[in-house]
């Protein structure tokens, strides 16, 4: 589970962009940006919580009597390694603080690339509508008949 959340965090801007493109009435870009940033922030916090819970459960395996404290008999090298992994992670500790700006930068970069690609395909991917808008010219053989005259006149 703690692997799936960061992967979904990475794919969130693409999923939201494609979802918005499939809508008949598309959302405003700024509203879409801010809601994606907030959703990504909470997703990042959930991923940090999942990693923290996983590391805590690994450490709790070494607590033989279940009191939450580690006696000298319980402190094996593997238990020390597990404790080190749980306590020495600055990124997890700072995630609530830096998670929002970090997510905003990621969503901004992704949306910029996606909307730029959409604009480029609109500008250069479509053929000119001038050919479709001009009516076909009907050529008559040279005669004295005015093609704009009602039938039977003249």
- What confidence score (pLDDT) does residue 27 get? 83
- What confidence score (pLDDT) does residue 60 get? 67
- What confidence score (pLDDT) does residue 139 get? 64
d(CA 150, CA 154): 9
Q: Name which of 67-71, 79-83, 107-111, 137-141 the model is least confident about.
A: 67-71
Q: What is the mean pLDDT of the chain?
A: 78
Q: Would you give the end-to-end CA distance of the chain in angstroms?
A: 86
- What confidence score (pLDDT) does residue 154 get? 56
CA distances from 95 to 30, 47, 69, 84, 148 (A): 24, 10, 27, 18, 77
Other C-beta atoms closer than 10 Å to the C-beta of 34 total 13
Q: Name which of 8-17, 47-56, 68-77 the model is least confident about.
A: 68-77
- What confidence score (pLDDT) does residue 56 get? 72
pLDDT digits (tens, 9 = 90+) for 22-38: 888 888 888 999 999 99
- Greater confidence (24 vs 10) lies with 10
d(CA 85, CA 34): 34
- What confidence score (pLDDT) does residue 131 get? 54
- The answer to whether residues 62 and 82 touch, using CB atoms and an 8 Å cutoff, is yes
- Greater confidence (52 vs 46) lies with 46
């Amino acid at each position: 589970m703690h692997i799936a959340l960061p992967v979904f965090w990475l794919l969130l801007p693409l999923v939201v962009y494609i979802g918005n493109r499939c809508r008949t009435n598309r959302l405003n870009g700024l509203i879409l940006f801010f809601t994606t940033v907030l959703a990504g922030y909470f997703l990042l916090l959930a991923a940090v919580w999942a990693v923290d819970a996983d590391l805590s459960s690994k450490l709790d395996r070494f607590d033989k009597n279940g009191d939450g404290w580690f006696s000298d008999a319980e402190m094996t090298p593997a238990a020390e390694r597990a404790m080190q992994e749980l306590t020495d992670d600055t990124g997890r500790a700072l995630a609530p603080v830096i998670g929002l700006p970090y997510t905003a930068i990621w969503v901004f970069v992704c949306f910029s690339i996606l909307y730029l690609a959409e604009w480029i395909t609109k500008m250069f991917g479509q053929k000119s509508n001038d050919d479709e808008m001009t009516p076909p010219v009907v050529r008559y053989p040279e005669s004295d008949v005015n093609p704009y005259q009602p039938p039977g006149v003249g």
